[in-house]
């Protein structure tokens, strides 16, 4: 019998989540029976959408329950198998994050893209990439930009949350597609990193006057806005949008901890005169593009055209702090918890 430490939701956060909203518990993990495997997680993801699951209200994913272990993407290693086709040492992907180990039937495990050993000249690629650049955030960037934003070569693309897991991939795919890229982020260091991966204009929104900064970076306006932040960023994007621009609404992290609804963009009327197309999307509705995404992304990574950063926190007990860190910009690139 092995034990597993897991993180449970203790109370629903009001405002910014704190350690007091979480419990750390240790449980016995049952030995795998016939047809089951025992998995020890190696990396788990914390993602902004999880904040939405902490509210007790219907959404596109059900709310987390008080007293229960949280869930999320994880990459783990099989340590014991009684299931055909699964052997100790195999890496598997699951939604059983926020815990160290679990026993499950393989039907609950997602297949890992078969890329190990195929990108040998890319230093630093390891299983954590499959909860980041090659996982859900990467796919979000890919479908949100290409399917919703529909950039054309020569377009100017503005992405907020530019130094995050999704935003940094959006920025680089937009460069691959021949666009000029304006990306915003919350520190000078993050902006330096964005420039180092090819972003044309990196803006530190904490320097103030976001509108003037974006106008200076894109004097002719923008053709695509990829929104990770909402609020003032969305208002600025509408302001600088050119005729017929596309606004891909991926997320609005600036509002996830609001205790009352935020006022809408004050300039929303411009949507009419500029014939703007504003469309939200949820990555899970684009599973049919996953294989194409993995193939494209593996190619771009191999060519050195997509690079990524991870901010890694160590140990399951750090998971709540890692999650809270998403809301104060602790992470550059993907926030990852190593288990
Ligand atoms: P990130 O890696 O981008 O981490 C969050 C970042 O948001 C922080 O690092 C911080 O960076 C920034 N941030 C936090 N608060 C604010 C604020 N008030 N104003 C401006 N920036 C802020 O997270 P992800 O890449 O995982 O997610 C990015 C967005 O994509 C989120 O909105 C998320 O909900 C959304 N998403 C949507 C999906 C979908 O299917 N629609 C799927 C996955 C993600 P900084 O230092 O720059 O402030």
CATH of the domain at 173: 3.40.50.720
Q: What's the whole-model pTM score?
A: 0.97
Helix (H, G, I), strand (E, B) or coil at 178: coil
**Is 294 a domain residue?**
no
Residues 145 and 265 in one domain: yes
151 and 272 part of one domain: yes
What's the domain range around 253?
136-284
Question: What digits encode the pLDDT tens for the residues 121-150?
Answer: 555 578 899 999 999 999 999 999 999 999
Residues 198 and 232 in one domain: yes
Contact 162, 295 (CB under 8 A): no
Quick one: 148 and 220 in the same domain? yes
**Using CA positions, which residue lies closest to atom 7 of ligand 1?**
161
Residue 291 inside a domain? The answer is no
Residue 84's domain is classified under what CATH number?
3.90.180.10
Same domain, 143 and 277: yes
Residue 103 CA to ligand 1 centre (angstroms): 32
Distance from residue 304's CA to the centre of ligand 1 (Å): 24
Based on the structure, what is the number of domains in the chain? 2
DSSP conformation class of 147: I
Per-residue pLDDT 10s for the chain (339 aa) are 799 999 999 999 999 999 999 999 999 999 999 999 999 999 999 999 999 999 999 888 999 999 999 999 999 999 999 999 899 988 899 999 999 999 999 999 986 766 555 555 555 578 899 999 999 999 999 999 999 999 999 999 999 999 999 999 999 999 999 999 999 999 999 999 999 999 999 999 999 999 999 999 999 999 999 999 999 999 999 999 999 999 999 999 999 999 999 988 999 999 999 999 999 999 999 999 998 999 999 899 989 999 999 999 999 999 999 999 999 999 999 999 999
Give the residues surrounding ligand 1 with Cβ less than 6 Å away: 47-49, 137, 140, 161, 163-167, 185-187, 190, 228-229, 250-251, 253-254, 281-283, 326-327, 329, 331, 335
Q: Find tokens 């959404």 and name the residue.
A: 59
Q: Which residues pair with 92 in a beta bridge?
A: 76
The answer to whether 335 and 165 have CB atoms below 8 angstroms apart is yes
Helix, strand and coil content of the chain, in percent to the nearest 5, comes to 30, 25, 40
Report the separation in Å between the CA atom of 54 and the middle of ligand 1, taken as the mean of its atom positions.
16
How close is the Cα of 256 to the center of ligand 1, in Å?
A: 10
Q: Whose CA is nearest to atom 48 of ligand 1?
A: 186
């Amino acid at each position: 019998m092995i034990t597993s430490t897991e993180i449970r939701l203790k109370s629903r956060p009001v405002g910014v989540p704190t350690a007091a909203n979480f419990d750390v518990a240790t449980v016995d993990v049952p030995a795998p029976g016939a047809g089951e495997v025992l998995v020890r997680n190696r990396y788990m993801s914390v993602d902004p959408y999880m904040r939405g699951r902490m509210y007790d209200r219907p959404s596109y994913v059900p709310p987390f329950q008080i007293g229960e272990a949280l869930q999320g993407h994880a990459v783990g290693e099989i340590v014991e198998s009684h299931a055909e086709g699964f052997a100790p040492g195999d890496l598997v992907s699951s939604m059983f994050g926020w815990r160290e180990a679990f026993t499950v039937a393989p039907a609950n495990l997602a297949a890992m893209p078969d890329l190990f050993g195929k990108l040998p000249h890319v230093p630093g690629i390891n299983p954590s990439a499959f909860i980041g650049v090659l996982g859900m955030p990467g796919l979000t960037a890919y479908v949100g930009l290409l399917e919703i934003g529909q950039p054309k070569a020569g377009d100017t693309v503005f992405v907020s949350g530019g130094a995050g897991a999704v935003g940094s991939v959006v920025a680089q795919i937009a460069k691959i597609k021949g666009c000029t890229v304006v990306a915003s982020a919350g520190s000078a260091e993050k902006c330096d990193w964005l420039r180092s991966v090819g972003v044309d204009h990196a803006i530190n929104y904490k320097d103030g006057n976001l509108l003037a900064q974006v106008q200076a970076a894109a004097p002719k306006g923008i053709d695509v806005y990829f929104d990770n932040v909402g609020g003032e960023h969305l208002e600025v994007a509408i302001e600088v949008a050119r005729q017929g621009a596309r606004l891909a609404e991926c997320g609005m992290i600036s509002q996830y901890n609001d205790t009352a609804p935020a006022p809408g963009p004050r300039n929303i009327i411009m949507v009419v005169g500029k014939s703007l197309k504003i469309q939200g999307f949820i990555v899970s509705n684009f599973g049919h593009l996953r294989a194409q995404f993995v193939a494209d992304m593996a190619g771009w990574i191999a060519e050195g055209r997509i690079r990524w950063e991870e901010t890694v926190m160590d140990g399951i007990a750090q998971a709540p702090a890692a999650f809270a860190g998403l809301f104060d910009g602790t992470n550059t690139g993907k926030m990852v918890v190593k288990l």
